């Protein structure tokens, strides 16, 4: 606005070319997503050592045959653990803490998304990184399960904003024909974060690992100073239109259906992340694989995470390139969903033959989930500038939160279908829903993003 005071970043950005500004935005968004996923997955890696003995909170392992979720008795027990009335065990307390993180991400996605459309993409990029970095450092000093759950809730709230703000900013700064390359780089680099988390979580004590994640996030704030705000956001801010309205995503029905189609297109990815990756030892045991030693899990969770996310990182690069080659986001997502169907069938059919084969098939399933970058790009391209950050930030977090529904459905179906049958049934259902949803969406490839939702 004329006469408005200029920030230091405004002055710095005047000296940079548009190409340099865009490059810096891609780098910051990519590194931010790297730290985002590092911190998100780190809890899964350090859950047992942080909650158990001798160096954690000292909780016992659950007795054999204890259900992990799905019964009223178990849900009541989880509530008592959260309130601090009973100490719980590594599994029940771990589930309470995981759910607190997921709830934080869903609520954070809504709050950061609305803020991104009202106050700007950079505000969210800065604020979310600061919140989850400080929360993860604080995680290194927890002394009880309720305290741990509260801090994972805060961390999840902060983690929810980074990806949506980064992708929205990159999409709006880049040209229509090339923005797929930018989001491809963001997701490809970001998905190396879980691999780093698996390594750091194995090498360092769990408290030190949390500090590493928090310090990496704080270091990003230095880079953020020189990032330019989206020109499209500056333009829409001067117009008399509603911005960041959650109600506008829900009405009229056409826009709400469009929003649901985007969300459901990404849900199959978190069937893999929520069941196949996290509960890989249970699935491998049901396939007939044996423990390498009496005290070891059937398969190593850290190796599963490294293989799965290495495949996902490569898959995101491939899906980004394929979407540019086909000039279609929708066709690319369908190709990867069909690939996920095929690799999932292969894992269930042949994963029990050897540990090496199991890890290899997990890598292939990770590769097939690599359309995450294209999925988030679709969320950004499918909505006008005044709702873009809200849609792009909430959609992936609702997908992540849907993991609770997926895991609960899996547990409820186990008595009737068994461990593998229930996992396969849930996977088939979410894949059918995902393919149906994305197939009915107008392809946003090459769309001019200078438009608004009325």
| 8 Å CB contact between 359 and 307 | yes
SS3 300: coil
Distance CA 216, CA 219 (A): 5
Domain assignment present for residue 401? The answer is yes
Domain assignment present for residue 10? The answer is no
pLDDT in tens, 35-54: 988 998 898 888 888 988 78
* 80's tokens: 């008592």
Percent of the chain at pLDDT > 70 equals: 90
Checking if the pLDDT of 10 tops 60, the result is no
Domain assignment present for residue 450? The answer is no
* pLDDT classification of 3: cutoffs 50, 70, 90: very low
Domain assignment present for residue 392? The answer is yes
What pLDDT shows up at residue 314?
92
* Burial class for 1, CB neighbours closer than 10 Å (0-12, 13-18, 19+): exposed
How many CA atoms, within 13 angstroms, populate the side-chain half-sphere of residue 343? 26
What pLDDT shows up at residue 74?
57
Domain assignment present for residue 159? The answer is yes
Domain assignment present for residue 408? The answer is yes
Q: How far is CA 44 from CA 13, 268, 322, 427, in A?
A: 39, 20, 31, 21
What pLDDT shows up at residue 261?
97
SS3 172: helix
* pLDDT classification of 107: cutoffs 50, 70, 90: very high
First and final C-alpha spacing in the chain:
24
Biggest CA-to-CA distance, the chain = 72
Residue that the structure tokens 């097939």 belong to:
368
For residues 391-404, give the mean pLDDT.
90
The domain that holds 418 is classified in CATH as 1.20.1250.20
Checking if the pLDDT of 2 tops 50, the result is no
What pLDDT shows up at residue 401?
85
Backbone torsions φ then ψ of 61, nearest 5 degrees = -75, 155
Which ranges of 119-178 would DSSP assign to H, the alpha helix?
121-139, 145-173
Compute the Cα dihedral for 399, 266, 425, 283 and give only its sign: negative
* pLDDT classification of 84: cutoffs 50, 70, 90: low
What pLDDT shows up at residue 4?
40
Give me the chain's average pLDDT, please. 86
SS3 404: helix
Domain assignment present for residue 9? The answer is no
| 176 vs 254, residue with greater confidence | 254
For residues 402-417, give the mean pLDDT.
85
Checking if the pLDDT of 5 tops 80, the result is no
Checking if the pLDDT of 12 tops 50, the result is no
Domain assignment present for residue 2? The answer is no
Of 10-14, 245-249, 338-342, 397-401, least confident by mean pLDDT is: 10-14
For residues 67-80, give the mean pLDDT.
56
What pLDDT shows up at residue 344?
95
Structural domain count, the chain: 1
| 8 Å CB contact between 312 and 366 | yes
pLDDT in tens, 179-224: 888 888 998 888 889 889 989 998 999 999 999 999 999 998 887 7
Q: Which residues, in sequence order, are CB contacts of 24 under 8 Å at separation 6+?
A: 16, 223, 226, 227, 228
* 205's tokens: 């004590």
Q: Could you list the residue range(s) of the whole structural domain that residue 214 is in? A: 16-439
What pLDDT shows up at residue 307?
93
Checking if the pLDDT of 420 tops 60, the result is yes
DSSP letters spanning 311-377: HHHHHHHHHHHHHHHHT-HHHHHHHHHHHHHHHHHHHHHHTTS-HHHHHHHHHHHHHHTTTHHHHHH
């Amino acid at each position: 606005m004329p006469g408005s005071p200029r920030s230091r970043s405004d002055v710095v950005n005047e000296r940079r070319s548009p190409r340099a500004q865009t490059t810096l935005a891609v780098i910051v968004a990519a590194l931010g997503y790297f730290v985002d996923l590092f911190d998100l997955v780190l809890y899964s890696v350090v859950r047992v050592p942080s909650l158990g003995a001798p160096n954690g909170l000292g909780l016992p392992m659950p007795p054999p045959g204890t259900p992990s979720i799905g019964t009223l008795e178990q849900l009541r027990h989880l509530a008592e653990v959260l309130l601090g009335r009973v100490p719980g065990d590594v599994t029940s307390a771990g589930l309470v803490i995981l759910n607190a993180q997921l709830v934080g991400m869903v609520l954070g996605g809504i709050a950061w998304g609305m803020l991104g459309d009202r106050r700007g993409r950079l505000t969210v990029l800065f604020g979310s990184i600061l919140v989850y970095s400080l929360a993860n450092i604080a995680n290194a000093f927890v002394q009880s399960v309720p305290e741990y759950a509260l801090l994972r809730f805060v961390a999840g709230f902060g983690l929810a904003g980074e990806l949506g703000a980064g992708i929205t900013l990159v999409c709006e700064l880049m040209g229509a024909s090339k923005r797929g390359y930018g989001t491809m780089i963001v997701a490809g680099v970001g998905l190396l974060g879980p691999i780093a988390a698996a390594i750091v979580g194995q090498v360092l004590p769990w408290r030190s690992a949390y500090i590493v994640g928090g310090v990496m996030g704080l270091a990003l704030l230095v880079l953020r100073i020189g990032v330019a705000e989206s020109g499209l956001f500056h333009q829409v801010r001067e117009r008399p239109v509603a911005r960041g309205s959650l109600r506008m995503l829900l009405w009229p029905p056409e826009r709400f259906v469009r929003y649901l189609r985007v969300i459901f297109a990404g849900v199959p990815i978190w069937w893999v992340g929520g069941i196949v990756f996290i509960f890989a030892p249970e699935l491998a045991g049901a396939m007939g694989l044996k423990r390498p030693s009496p005290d070891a899990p059937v398969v190593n969770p850290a190796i599963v995470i490294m293989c799965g996310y290495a495949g996902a990182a490569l898959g995101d690069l491939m899906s980004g390139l394929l979407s540019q080659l086909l000039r279609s986001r929708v066709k690319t997502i369908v190709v990867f969903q069909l690939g996920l169907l095929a690799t999932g069938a292969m894992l269930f059919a042949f994963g029990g033959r050897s540990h090496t084969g199991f890890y290899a098939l997990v890598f292939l399933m990770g590769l097939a989930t690599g359309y995450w970058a294209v999925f988030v790009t679709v969320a950004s391209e499918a909505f006008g500038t005044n709702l873009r950050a809200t849609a792009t930030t909430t959609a992936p977090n609702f997908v992540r939160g849907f993991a609770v529904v997926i895991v609960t459905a899996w547990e409820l179906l186990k008595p009737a279908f068994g461990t593998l049958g229930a996992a396969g049934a849930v996977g088939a259902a979410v894949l059918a829903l995902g393919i149906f949803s994305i197939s009915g969406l107008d392809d946003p490839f090459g769309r001019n993003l200078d438009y608004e939702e009325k």
